[in-house]
Amino acid sequence: MEEVTEGTIFIDRRGCVPTFRRKRQREHGVPELRRLATHDGARQHCLPIAAEEGATETDVERIGAKKWPDLTENRVNLLDRYPAQLSGGQQQRVALARAIAVDPKVFLMDEPLSNLDAKLRVHMRTELKAIHHQTHATTIFVTHDQSEAMSMADRIVVMREGRIEQVGTPEEVYEQSANMFVASFIGLPPTNFFQVLVEQQDTSLRLRHAQFTLPLTDEQAAGLKEYTKDRLVVGVRPENILLTTEEQALFSVDALVVEPQGSHQIIAFRIDGDLIKVVAPAYPKVRAGERIHLTFDSHRIRFFDPDTEQAIEVTRHATATTSG
């Protein structure tokens, strides 16, 4: 673990020094790859650490029955196996069970699902979130998988090169991304960015792209009145670019690639040299090369400073018209 260089860490309102000593500890860690002793069975891996908290083997089974719901496909058999008889994913689940057996105040999880196959990883997200609701233990979960963060977290800390970019609920980091890095990192496909010029026309302000013009409402214009640069970046999530009729379109393009996803389809196209992706309903089906007509959900667009890449907070109400 990292040394504490500044400040104090509190667990259960008590200052502490993080440690992995197994006596009366209030925190327990699950690293990316847990190495299990080859001479001990899975049950023995869960028992000693629980025994230090006064638990017996019967207690381990009781704890498991209450806190390991469907953690393995066949819990009894896995507990009797040796590490050499377990797959990497099964070993990782034993490591999780070992941590749960302590009933700690804090779980420290360093990519605990990274060695699981895709189907089991999705299943384990639900199981871990259910366990969290049962134990009420604070859980610090490190992951590079933004879908894991979005689906499991109460609060997300987005970091880049050791610096915190944003802290917030999943909804906040997704809908109110603090900067272009967060907007592009959270969400799949990521946010689309459009470089626009800021133009003053009579008493109104509008944003001009090579393919469309986006006039601003009074609220948005008021929010941007302190913005003095002549360029701006408009960020639009893929699901907020909408298929529409030619008469109502903000712009029209030819579909480059279509990726069917069953419940929806992802449509890719190029505009002004940029690759843009749209998440659209599964029907009507769009084919590669087909002419499509698009507009924005004007209530869900974001503005960013192109130099600092920081979000510009304004009231998000805009109307869109095609440029003439």
Query: Residue 159 has which token pair?
Result: 């970091």
Please give the Cα distance from 175 to 218 (Å, whole number). Answer: 22
Q: What is the mean pLDDT of residues 105-116?
A: 81
**Whether residue 131 has pLDDT greater than 60:** yes
The burial class, CB within 10 Å (0-12 / 13-18 / 19+), for 282 is exposed
Pair of tokens at residue 112: 């605990």
Percent of the chain with pLDDT over 90: 42
Residue 79's pLDDT is: 63
Q: How confident is residue 80, by pLDDT bands cut at 50, 70 and 90?
A: low
**Phi, psi of 38, rounded to the nearest 5 degrees:** -70, -20
Q: Look over the chain and give the mean of its residue pLDDT values, rounded to a whole number.
A: 79
Sheet holding 241-243, edge to edge: 241-243, 291-296, 251-254
4 has pLDDT over 60: yes
- Which letter does DSSP use for residue 31 in this model? -
pLDDT exceeds 70 at position 174:
yes
Higher-pLDDT residue of 144, 79: 144
φ, ψ of residue 231 in degrees (nearest 5): -125, 155
User: Three-state DSSP class for 174?
Assistant: helix
C-alpha span between 210 and 17 (Å, rounded): 57
